[in-house]
Structure 1
Amino acid sequence: MTSAPVIGVLAVQGDAREHLQALAACGARAEPVRRASELTRVQGLVLPGGESTTIDKLLRAFELAEPLRERISGGLPVYGSCAGMILLAQRLVDAHRGQQTLGGIDMLVQRNAFGRQVDSFEADLPVQGIAGTADSPGLMRAVFIRAPWVQEVGEQVQVLARVPCGARRGAIVAVRQGNALATAFHPEVTGDLRVHRYFVDLVRTVDRG
């Protein structure tokens, strides 16, 4: 792979622009993906935050759902944040009638688990595998906006982060299974590039393998 892997950001709905900027800052060639033909060009893909039910409907309307499932099941590195975590789940709690996911991670996810927009919050998380800074070793400021959480994971799923304190203590908010990564929080809004850098490195590693 060249020094600039091509990483797409699903851009049918949600905060695609912020992810595109973060990926570019990490040395990737970031491209929006709205069509199946654009999906064929990427070596990794980000599923951004937004409204998961709306994204699901648009994916089917644009005939993107099945191509996405095929590429993810075939090993395409993929990262989902917030709504993207919901899309990567094998199973959902209280899914909307007819709501579908893409799969990729053996987990049970509850939508809007932390509450409504007014219940959004921030927390400092220890995130396994992502280096800390000199000021906050091993910690990452995480922003949760109508966020999901993971209720159950399969044996092959690695839990990377849990909420460390408060009423939400222990809630699983970051996971990885093989080439699939998901967070309940939004690293693209904080200016902290560590999650995106981790994902870009994953894409490079998969291509070299």
Structure 2
Amino acid sequence: MESPYKTVIFDLGGVLIDWSPEYVFLKEFRGNREKMDWFLNEICAWDWNANQDAGYPIVQATEDRVAMFPEYEKLIRMYYGRWNEMLGYTHEDTLEILRQLHSHPDYQVYALTNWSGELFPRALAKFDWLSWFEGIVVSGDEKMRKPFREIYELTLNRYSIDPKMAIFIDDSPKNVVGCEEVGITGLHFTGADKLRSDLIQLGISI
């Protein structure tokens, strides 16, 4: 039976691209994971980084944080100053799934990512396979981010995607819930093998 799905939308970080502040800060904290985790939860916190994913300027964000925690200035400036070191490798097993979908005549592939618009060009320079997507929506460029419905609606409207014919893949459960609220079928990514199985169950030929 032919699948009703014609569009597959990928998250990038955690699904296709490895990224982690740990690559910088675990060394700075001399292997002390407890201290590193405290710093990343309390000083350069995840919700602070999410603001930059929604378009807040990196320079201003850094100065804001230094003003709040001047005793951690050196470490705070490392967060974006050494950001390239946090950008890791391609998840090759997921990339193979993308490759098959990209080469299949029945499917179109897009990306929807929470990512600073200032930093995303570095990913474009590093990962040439990003050119396989029909289009990429970068939250920082749009001044909105997942899991809020506006960015899913923007993606659907920009590329004339029928939500009933679309699948969205993300490693964050809340982002999957967000896509489902606008009628897209969501898949929570936990690994390439499970993703392949989930796609096949939905009738996708890979």
TM-score by length of 2: 0.30
Q: Relative CO higher for 1 or 2, CA cutoff 8 Å, sep ≥ 6?
A: 2
- Which protein is richer in helix relative to its size? 2
